[in-house]
Chain A
Amino acid sequence: TQLLEQSPQFLSIQEGENLTVYCNSSSVFSSLQWYRQEPGEGPVLLVTVVTGGEVKKLKRLTFQFGDARKDSSLHITAAQTGDTGLYLCAGFLSGNTPLVFGKGTRLSVIA
């Protein structure tokens, strides 16, 4: 059973377009994180969201944590080819449990 469901699985868009990827669960998480992974490399942390309803911005990336702390979204404005990669959401069910990951959204931004 996958605790964190990500959608879409694959996304291919043109440079300059906007996109949103989603991360959903039936479980409540104490916090959620988003990672980006490039081929041949390990995931790299982008952001941590802790409070229900929290919104964080990282340049053109906007992250939101759902009010009930069961879901999160990542919105990219004016995508660039450098945004290409695998976006993974991951969460802590509690402060003492290890990180669990979703399957990821593979994003391809075409020039």
Chain B
Amino acid sequence: EAGVAQSPRYKIIEKRQSVAFWCNPISGHATLYWYQQILGQGPKLLIQFQNNGVVDDSQLPKDRFSAERLKGVDSTLKIQPAKLEDSAVYLCASSLWTAGFDGYTFGSGTRLTVV
């Protein structure tokens, strides 16, 4: 089966600019996650979708970050305006269900550098 697709792979922007990342999860996976992984740290959840509804966005900096999952499939994550501390890898993951012990399937991530 095809994996989780993410684009772009790399992005360099200046601070205060905006940027958007795209994710296409595994077909049939109802739940989609965006994680932020800062260098030297483990992934930190930004937002979780169940189909096209938000389940958890408690750690999303809503003054600058936004995300949507239209039609319950693809998702985009946007940062506007970007700050230096947003430099990180943004990982998208999907799983079959919200509850339970399913493993997550991750994409390769988008490495963002803010200069």
Contact = CB atoms under 8 A, between A and B. Distances in A.
Contacts of A101: 35, 42-44
Interface residues of A, number: 25
A93 interface: no
A95 B107 CA distance: 23
Interface residues of B, number: 26
B101 A50 contact: yes
B4 interface: yes
Interface stretch (A11-19, A38-46, A73-81): A38-46
Contacts, number: 57
Nearest to A102: B42
A45 B101 contact: no
A49 to B, nearest CB: 9
A96 B55 CA distance: 10
Interface string A76-100: 0000000000001010100111111
A42 B101 contact: no
Contacts of A88: 42-43
User: Most chain-B Cβ atoms within 10 A of its Cβ — which of A31, A98, A101, A102?
Assistant: A98
Given A40-B108, A42-B93, A48 B42 contact: no
A42 B107 contact: yes
B33, B91, B103: residue with the most chain A Cβ atoms closer than 10 Å: B103
A102 B44 CA distance: 9
Nearest to A41: B108
Interface in B7-62: 33, 35, 40-45, 48, 55-56
Given A42-B109, A48-B101, A50-B101, 6 more contacts: A42-B107, A42-B108, A45-B104, A88-B43, A95-B101, A99-B45
25 contacts: A30-B101, A31-B101, A33-B101, A40-B109, A41-B108, A41-B109, A42-B4, A42-B91, A42-B106, A42-B107, A43-B91, A43-B106, A44-B106, A88-B43, A90-B42, A95-B99, A95-B100, A98-B48, A98-B55, A98-B56, A100-B45, A101-B35, A101-B44, A103-B41, A103-B42
